[in-house]
Amino acid sequence: MKKYITFLSFIIILCMMGCATSRDLKIVSRSLNSRILALQEDLSSLKEDNERLRKDADRILKFNESLRKGQADTGADFVQLRNQMQQLRGEIESLEMKLATLQSDLKTKDSAGIQKKFDDISFRINYIENFLGVGKKVQADTTTVTEKPESTKAPSPEGTVDKEKSYAEAYKTFKQGDYNEARNKFRRFVEIFPSTEYSDNAQFWIGECYYFEKNYEKAILEYENVIKKYPKGNKVPNALLKQALSFMELGDKASAKLLLQRVIKEYPNTSSARIARGKLTSLK
* Region 236-263 average pLDDT: 94
pTM above 0.85, yes or no: no
Confidence of residue 283 (pLDDT cuts 50, 70, 90): confident
Least confident of 136-150, 177-191, 205-219: 136-150
Domain boundary assignment for the chain: 112-129+163-283
Instruction: Report the C-alpha gap between 284 and 80 in whole angstroms.
Output: 15
Statement: residue 27 has pLDDT above 50: yes
Least confident of 63-67, 100-104, 171-175, 197-201: 100-104
Class of domain 112-129+163-283: mainly alpha
Residue 282's pLDDT is 85
* Region 183-211 average pLDDT: 95
Residue 72's pLDDT is 64
